[in-house]
Structure 1
Amino acid sequence: MRAGPGRVPGPCPSPSSERSGIVRDSGVFQRSASHFTDRITADGRDGWPVEAGRYRLVVSRACPWASRSLVVRRLLGLEEALSLAVADPVQDERSWRFTLDPDDRDPVLGIRFLSEAYEAREKGYDGGVSVPAVVDAATGRLVTNDYQRLTLDLSTEWGALHREGAPDLYPEALRDEIDERMEGIYRDVNNGVYQAGFAKSQEAYDAAYARLFARLDQVSEHLAGQRYLVGDTITEADVRLFTTLVRFDAVYHGHFKCNRNKLTEDRVLWAYARDLFQTPGFGDTVDFDHIKRHYYVVHEDINPTRVVPRGPDLRGWRTPHHRQELGGRPFGDGTPPPPPPSSEVVQPL
């Protein structure tokens, strides 16, 4: 589906597209579906078979939707099978750019801007350029920017390339419950913070704010008695909630006016988020510098000064959480992932 006027074309699009994401006179922010929804599968039914070394995952460490794929890729041990390109957290009007690499080019794809892969896929493409994106390294063509499906396929279709001891993040017996949890969290929390932050009317903001904190209260109550969202192990549902929670105090509380309370003021959610952050595969993918610079610099209509705040104090992420007292087995019958490759290490807190 091509993004039309007043719709945000994908999860973390180029800045001009994101700022135009307001629909209807009510001022409600609405996110459109991804435009390129091909799937990379074991049987290659969409023309893209799973193949080690063939594809390149393009992310921004600032983007919560892209961060899902970073966490899942680490947990499943796909670092060697699926190479990684990290874009500059601050885009310009030409889209996500590779200015973190020598000569401002991605060393594998040889391009300066992610938009070049979109253009290679669809000549004359004029929609949003978003991350996460998977690119066919040989042709430079975009394969997919379907952030909702991508991580599920990494879990279910890429199994032959998973590391030994990889957890089952989408167990078949629990999929209905996982899907139900993820739907509510996506609608009211993952996307809800954006609906509050980009609202252009008081009514739209108030409604998004109410839904957000009602859902967070519900999730907090649920997690008071169990360590993870579904079952006794980490699942895709936990990954999707974590990528919003880890950004909450740093950007959503102030920048997006989601300020009824901070994450650190909810005893259960703060402990839950710290538990995941300290679990290999989660916190070692998080770059708070990228997160803060992206939101406060790129969203000029919300923060016209582009001043990036110094706080909050991030040292609390390493403090004891005591969630292990609830039981649970983070990786089920599997094992933690090894440390990230040296080229992917983020600056520790």
Structure 2
Amino acid sequence: MTTHTPRSKRRRSALRTLAFMSPWLIGFSFFFAYPLVSTVYFSFMKYDGFRPPVFNGLDNWSYVFNDYPLFWPALRNTLWLVLVMVTFRVIFGLGIGLLITKIKTGTGVFRTLFYLPYLAPPVAATLAFVFLLNPGTGPVNTILEGIGIPAPAWFTDSDWSKPALTMLALWGVGDLMVIFMAALLDVPKEQYEAAELDGASAWQRFRFVTLPNISPIVLFAVVTGVIATMQYYTQPMVAAKIASGVIGGSGQQFEPGYPEKSTLTLPHTIYNAGFQRFDYGSAAVISLVLFVLAMAFTALLMRRRSGLIRVGD
């Protein structure tokens, strides 16, 4: 008769747990830990992708923060998009979700109409918006001029390019709308009825009943929005190329950020430094800055989680 000592039982339990965790551990090691360690390593190396890397200390960090002309404009634009675009997307998505949940008839039609833009490929959606907002021939400016409103230059004006990108993001807000609708429909009706009996107004019902119940979903929308905006690449790149007249083709080199670096984001600088200038050390530094910023925003929002959940108390 075989007996198992407590030590052998613990070992078997640990091995069994490790076996169940092994898929995640392998994925984490190969797709997160190894790339992160490699990025830190190359941030202290002079490396162009062709010759062996050579240690150069803090030269890459000094170059990015002091001499690389695209870094600070990209950082300012990225932070602007995080603060403005994410805020408007959450508010707009919540507003559309509230509107549709209050509609008595045709809910499915309106839900489909608002969700369909989210399914449009990013490149196609950006091309459509550049056409609609064309300063000379776009229908939006034609309508604005027809009613006597000064028409902006949109993607060809550095003051209007980021607001135009925000409008594009709001057009594809169907993903947040669906999430908020599910949360809103899950709010207990008894709480609304009790608030009405107490004489609460519509705003008070929203503040003291709706928001506390959906605050975890609001937090989820904000955190995922911040992370996605930190990686914002395709839409501003396509818009800048089309607006500048650089469609693409062999031999063409396009430095992102048109007009006047107003659409430049941190992912663009990673691409520019690593694949256009072949300066992988500087690209690694910018990647680490982007990673630290995303982690800092996420940690700050998670620390505010209790305040968001208790909003209105």
TM-score greater than 0.5 by the shorter chain: no
Question: Which one has a bigger Cα radius of gyration?
Answer: 2
**TM-score, normalising length: structure 1:** 0.26
**TM-score, normalising length: structure 2:** 0.28
Query: Taking CA–CA contacts closer than 8 Å with sequence separation of 6 or more, which of the two structures ends up with the larger relative contact order?
Result: 2
From the two aligned structures, give the one with the greater helix fraction.
2
From the two aligned structures, give the one with the greater strand fraction.
1
